[in-house]
Structure 1
Amino acid sequence: MNATTILLVGHGSRGREGNKETIHFAAQWRERRPDWRIEVCFIEHAEVLLAEGLDRAAQGAGKVLVIPFILNAAGHVKMELPAAIAAARERHPAVDFAVTRHLGMGRDIFAVLQSQLDRLMKQLAMPDPQTTGVILLGRGSSDAGANGELAKMARWLFEENDHELVDLAFTGVTWPRLESAVQRQVRLGMMQVAIVPVYLFTGVLIERIQEQVARLRLQYPQVTFALGTHFGFDPGIFTLLDDKVGNDELPEGRMLECDGCKYRAEAEEGHLHDHSHTATGGCGHHHEHAMANPHGCAHQHD
């Protein structure tokens, strides 16, 4: 029996290329770690979804280490993934299911974003950062905690560089959108704009961003735009995952966020959660004792 199966759980993309890149990433990771058994599944928009992926990973394994291959924890990570793992534990009682945190917005991801920005500045022939605006462009979520994590990255970029403006924009769900952020920066005198997408792999939204920037170049011919790309194959991502496996960081098979969280359980029992993910807390729940919550999720009960 294999000691451990590592299950990489991607978000899933409506565009086939995005899922193909995730699978290709896993293949490259296997080449780097030939002694590890690494499987892949997706939360949505794919052939192998969570339940099947967990069942496959459990076959012949004593332990399954689930890694949410997702940058920000919103409804999928906080609600659907823990529920799927709870069901898998019932189906496979002899298997120990442990879950790491999602990739998150920490120093590892920040280093990747900084590297992206450095490359964009070189594309722009190293202009004055005081007249070169930066826009960090994320997917966008109705989960305030997920959006706040991205805002932290924008602030760190501002702190570590000399740019006059480092703004945050989103491709959907929430605001501001890319066009509004560019309009603001142009009005404030930016002559160049570096756009840093916060995406692991390609997909429909990456294509949409490219179309948006093409329109912006026509709308603002006096401004030079540099557009970054998704960064899932950056060496820093492989290292981050290696560390997660090496640390096996969470005891008792629990994950930070909402695996085993009583507020999530209460929400499920009361059918309070829906897929609009419109709650404003970091975990999409509301209670008045948010500061005392040991999970670090901003649970806020009414």
Structure 2
Amino acid sequence: MSTPHNASTPAASFDDEAILLVGHGSRREKSNEQVRELAADLESRLGIPVDAAFLELAAPSIDEAFADLESVTSQVTVVHCSLFAASHVKNDVPLSIEQARASYDLEINNGAHLGIHPAILDLLDDRAAAVEAALGADRTEDDVAVVLCGRGSSDPDANGDVHKLARLLYEGRAFDRVEASFVGVTEPLLEDTLHGLSKHRPDAVVVLPYMLGDGVLTQRVRDWTGEFDDDYPYVDALAGDPLGTDSRLLDVFADRWQEARTESVEMSCDTCKYKVDLEGYEEDVGGARAMLRALAHQEAHADRDDIDDDPHTHDAPAKHVTVCTNRTCAEMGSPAVLERLRQQARDSEHCDVQITRSSCLDRCGDGPMVAVYPDGIWYGDVAAEDAERIVADHLDRDRIVSDLVDQTL
């Protein structure tokens, strides 16, 4: 692991280089400001320009940030605010980077997620100590249990890292136990973990929300912990603060930046569900299935519109169109197809659609490929001039353009 950088790092070594710090984005501006604050602090630490961008729900978007950076630098290194490597790190950001490489005169390095790092373990230990102090507990004398609560993901690799981080937090420290838990999506859920701990009758339960921002999910962790504390008067329980903008995160960002710019990024490909057959996740292997998974993810968020202030709530479009921009399709003209579809959709008065690029749809040689969902219609050998028919007939009037159909799912 590379040595964390500090404020004395000479700026002269990094001429014509910038960093793009990519956060998820939230409807709560406080969380977005935390990402911008981290970007400003990282710029001070490294002595080179650092801009912030967001995947969704906040501005600027990744593409807008690249467009701005093109005029001031020739090399950009993407550093992720994502805690673990799930679909945003493995799919969404890499696709944005590929599009930017095709659109802008930039050399772009892609870094890894924050992941498991000694600085984060130290930070979590301090968060736990603050909760212990508030409860009047002492881990060396009392039975103190810790619950590390992540958001939860459909990616087993990301969920597995939460368990690994919990184990590392336990090793060498005087906690009686450290459990991994989640707010949703996967198990064990925080509520179940807390009720299970009650059987051990610990003196104190410390709940650590493993999240960057102090948003809706962090408050949910506090609420559930408070309910547990009320239900079990013989156990003192309290939730701590999220990671926030602690300066130790800058050490992790600096390491991830250095790894990316020296082409030494390491990802856990042996346990990536998009690359290998993992039990229960076989259907996710391959680019096309990854795209379908992302669509299901979007629909799941759309179903949660009734949750007030949910930072992950999206307004789902009537249709979602994806255009393969992997190498083969790109060489056959798919970027022009993508741009023309977007232009035609913008000009339409009735088109309620989201049009995005995708990774390989496993139809190499039959492209450019265009997939329309939820209809499950794939068009092949699409030319830029076909965009008008796809929008006017299929997207506006639900009439399939039969001569372009490659397959129906």
Normalised by the length of structure 2, the TM-score is 0.61
Partner-residue secondary structure (3-state), 2:225:
helix
CA distance in 1, matches of 2:289, 2:81: 29
1:38-117 alignment runs, 5 A limit = 38-92=50-104, 94-117=105-128
Distance in 2 between the 1:32 and 1:53 partners? Answer: 21
For residues 28 and 247 of structure 1, the distance between their equivalents in structure 2, rounded to whole angstroms, comes to 19
Whether the 8 Å CA contact 2:20–2:52 is kept in 1: the answer is yes
Q: Structure 1: state its 5+ residue gaps.
A: 278-302
Match of 2:26 in 1: 13
| TM-score with structure 1 setting the length | 0.81
Give the number of equivalent residue pairs. 271
| CA deviation map 1:3-56 (0-9, x unaligned) | 1121000011232221122112223333444x3111111112212222222222
Of 135, 139, 148, 2:147 maps to: 135
SS of residue matched to 1:251: coil
Shift of 1:121: 2.3
**2:226 paired with 1:207:** no
Give the secondary structure class of the aligned counterpart of 1:61: coil
1:118 aligns with 129
Give deviations 1:204-223, integer Å, cap 9, x for gaps. Answer: 11122222222222222222
Question: 1:117-266 residue pairs with structure 2 within 5 A?
Answer: 117-128=128-139, 131-251=143-263, 256=267
Rg bigger for which structure? 2
Contact 1:133 1:164 in 2 (8 A): yes
Matching residue's letter, 2:41:
Q
Distance 1:248 1:274, change over 3 A: closer
Q: Distance in 1 between matches of 2:56 and 2:137?
A: 41
Q: Taking every aligned residue pair, what percent have the same amino acid on both sides? A: 28
Determine if contact 1:6/1:57 at 8 Å carries over to the other structure.
Answer: no
C-alpha contact (below 8 Å) 1:14/1:204 kept by paired residues: no
Instruction: Sort the Cα spacing of 1:249 and 1:28 in 2 relative to 1 into closer, same or farther, 3 A.
Output: closer
Amino acid at match of 1:86: E
Secondary structure in 1 aligned to 2:241? coil
Q: Return the alpha-carbon distance in structure 1 between the equivalents of residues 85 and 196 of structure 2.
A: 29
State the Cα RMSD in Å: 2.7
In structure 2, runs of 5+ residues without a counterpart are 1-14, 277-284, 298-409
Q: 1:170 to 1:26 in 2, by over 3 A?
A: same
Q: Which has the higher contact order (CA 8 A, sep 6+)?
A: 1
Contact 1:99–1:250 under 8 Å retained in 2: no
Residue in 1 that maps onto 2:287: 268
| Counterpart code for 2:20 | L
| Residues 55-64 or 177-186, more deviating | 55-64
Contact 1:58 1:95 in 2 (8 A): yes
Secondary structure in 1 matching 2:229: helix
The question of whether the paired residues in 1 share the 8 Å contact of 2:111 and 2:256 is answered with yes
Shift of the 235–142 alpha-carbon distance from structure 1 to 2, 3 Å rule, reads same
